Amino acid sequence: MNLSELIMARRSIRKCNALPVEQELVIELLRDAARLQPALDAGAWRVVYAGTPESSKQLVDYMLAQITQSKLGKLIPGKLLDVMKRRFTEIPAHVIVLSAQGTDRLTSDRNFAAVCGMMQSFQLLGWERGLGMIWDTESIIQNESFFKGIGIREDERFVGILHLGYFDKAPRGRKRTPAERKWTIWEGSTI
Ligand SMILES: Cc1cc2nc3c(=O)[nH]c(=O)nc-3n(C[C@H](O)[C@H](O)[C@H](O)COP(=O)(O)O)c2cc1C
């Protein structure tokens, strides 16, 4: 598969199978993805990895803390919560990606953008090896318990969690907006 075919073929995987994900593979893919992002300083990113059933279970508790601790959450039937928790706990590995804030907004944004680029490369390199993932930034998981639980530092910014797993069937891709519709020709200012 060449690069453009790989980019077109990759899909977000929301349903993975139970095959374990090797930690060594995750490290190798992260290393390669970071190499593909020349603008990424070594100090600009960090990963927190959860790859055991026990750590996944605790992570999921943190992710869903905002729901379970809220008044509204208390009304959610226990069974439904259990289903939600099980869905995440059964995922073999979770890669939480953090970027460095830097001393000013521009540095923080540059680091964040470079880390996003690295994560996309990581997704593509994973796909090449049959490893699927979904990039999760849901607002509900971004709560105080979660940030405290994963040990995020004050000078770090949450970029996303990649939930990783092998899969049996890739979903169909969604329609993309043609680039021409995102195209403005600027012929100079009239002011
Ligand atoms: C920055 C970023 C954040 C995302 N956050 C979420 C998310 O919170 N929940 C989710 O279901 N998918 C999330 N996704 C996955 C997108 O929904 C997914 O990429 C999109 O549906 C296109 O599907 P594809 O990756 O198969 O092409 C995120 C993707 C990116 C790039």
* Domains, the chain, with CATH or none: 13-168 (3.40.109.10)
Our mutation pick for probing the ligand 1 site, out of 6, 12, 172, counting the most ligand atoms within 8 A of Cβ, is 12
What is the reported pLDDT for 4? Answer: 94
Asked if the model's pLDDT at residue 44 lies above 80, the reply is yes
Which one-letter amino acid corresponds to residue 118?
M
Query: What average pLDDT does the segment 93-97 reach?
Result: 98
Give the angle subtended at the CA of 87 by the CAs of 21 and 118, to the nearest 5°.
50
Query: What average pLDDT does the segment 14-40 reach?
Result: 96
Query: What average pLDDT does the segment 64-71 reach?
Result: 85
What is the reported pLDDT for 74? Answer: 79
Q: Which atom of ligand 1 is nearest to the CA of 14?
A: 11
What is the reported pLDDT for 107? Answer: 95
Please report, for residues 51, 87, 99, 151, 176, the alpha-carbon distance to residue 139 in angstroms, rounded to integers and kept in the order given. Answer: 23, 18, 17, 18, 24
Contacting residues for 33 by C-beta, under 8 A, at least 6 apart: 118, 119, 121, 122, 125
Query: What average pLDDT does the segment 11-18 reach?
Result: 96
Residue 134 CA to residue 68 CA, distance in Å, equals 23
What is the reported pLDDT for 73? Answer: 77
Q: How many CA atoms lie within 13 A of 11 on its CB side?
A: 15
C-alpha 189 – ligand 1 centre gap (Å): 36
